[in-house]
Amino acid sequence: MTLRIPYSEVLLTLQRLFVKNGFAATDAEACALLFAKASLEGVPSHGLERVTVFLDMVKTGLVNPKAKPTLLDQFGSFERWSGNLGPGPLNAQFCMDRAILLSKEFGIGLVAVQQTNHWMRAGNYGWQAAEADVIGICWTNTKPNMPAWGGSEPKLGNNPLVVGIPRKEGHIVLDMAMSQFSYGKMKQYLRDGRQMPYEGGFDSQGKLTKEPKEVISNELALPIGLWKGAGFSLVLDMLAALLSGGNAVHQIGETGSEYGLSQVFLCLDPGKLGFADSIDSVLGNIVEDFLSSETFTGNVIRYPGQNIPEIRAKNLAEGVPVELGVWQGILDRL
């Protein structure tokens, strides 16, 4: 059963819950906004459905609700930070903000962070950059949950990548994992008792399967583009570990839990780099051509992020959709 909860009620409920679990009031408000925004904009698998998981990490000490990032190194437009195992969404928001500010000063800003935690909905930080009128690119590594191509054990992370590009007629925001389906999405299919629409990983015999339970239990998600996605995942992990000086995927796997991650945030300011006057016309022409594509019957072409404003407006008007069990699980923690 799906409920519709007013957005203001969702925010206030989460704020109270985070304060109860050791967050300062301002941090509780910021964290509540990031979780609520994910569900508001149609990504519940990394929004309200992750709240109790996140609080379990706080309870077990994997996430320190009072920790703040500390600066480790600074070289012109590059900064390296430690997240000190603080809340992943707040660390990511902070680091993207630093990258935005550096880009507005230098044209390009690069921030890497070590010892952080799961940032929840990756797309939040792409929207953060685009709404600040800069191009934002960011990625994170994860625990091992994808095989090397031809492998039979989890060695790679699904290492999500985000690209946000500002545009007056609608921002472009790509939010994608290196796996065909994120684990959050697979858990949604599992909870709903549905198969995935396409093969999403391997079973214990190494055969492709649409059964989310098989993939989740084996942690053998299918890389996007098969061997290409496996290679992409590998180099994103390498860059995250090198730039941040933090953990690589295999080191995260040794802990037995997904924490102590490494992340990278890169921003480019169109104004400083001399293409602010052309960005809307260039992107507009590309989008116009893209959307003019002929389709097979029943298919609709959309650019990344195109439907988010519509989803946001609908859910603001009608209430944030949330499964009864998920909402009750949140209320039970109050």
**What is the per-residue pLDDT across 109-135, written as a single tens digit (0 to 9) for each?**
999 999 999 999 999 999 999 999 999
H or E element that contains 263: strand 261-268
The tokens for 307 are 């439907």
Phi/psi at 140 (5° precision) = -135, 155
Given the residues 46, 118, 171, 250, the one annotated as active site: 46
Q: Give the side-chain half-sphere CA count within 13 A for 333.
A: 22
> In whole angstroms, what is the distance from residue 156 CA to residue 223 CA?
9
Please say if the pLDDT value at position 253 is more than 90.
yes
- When the pLDDT of each residue in the chain is averaged and rounded to a whole number, the result is 96
Q: What is the CATH number of domain 2-179+223-273?
A: 3.30.1370.60
Q: What is the mean pLDDT of residues 25-54?
A: 97
pLDDT of 191: 86
CA distances from 1 to 100, 191, 205 (A): 41, 12, 35
On whether the CB atoms of residues 259 and 119 are closer than 8 A, the answer is no
**Of 35, 56, 60, nearest in space to 46 by CA:** 35
Please say if the pLDDT value at position 98 is more than 90.
yes
Q: What is the mean pLDDT of residues 89-102?
A: 98
Q: What is the mean pLDDT of residues 306-310?
A: 97
> In whole angstroms, what is the distance from residue 60 CA to residue 17 CA?
16
Of the chain, the percentage scoring pLDDT greater than 90 comes to 96
Q: What is the mean pLDDT of residues 179-185?
A: 90
Q: What is the CATH number of domain 180-222?
A: 3.30.60.50
> In whole angstroms, what is the distance from residue 287 CA to residue 222 CA?
29
pLDDT of 192: 87
Give me the residue spans of the domains in the chain: 2-179+223-273, 180-222
46 catalytic, yes or no?
yes
Tens-place pLDDT, residues 147-176: 999 999 999 999 999 999 999 999 999 999
CA 290, 291, 295, 299 torsion-angle sign? positive
Of the chain, the percentage scoring pLDDT greater than 70 comes to 100
On whether the CB atoms of residues 227 and 149 are closer than 8 A, the answer is yes
pLDDT of 144: 97
Please say if the pLDDT value at position 184 is more than 90.
no
Q: What is the mean pLDDT of residues 202-206?
A: 91
Q: What is the mean pLDDT of residues 86-95?
A: 98
> 19 exposed, middle or buried (CB, 10 Å; 0-12, 13-18, 19+)?
middle
Query: Where residue 96 falls among pLDDT bands split at 50, 70, 90?
Result: very high
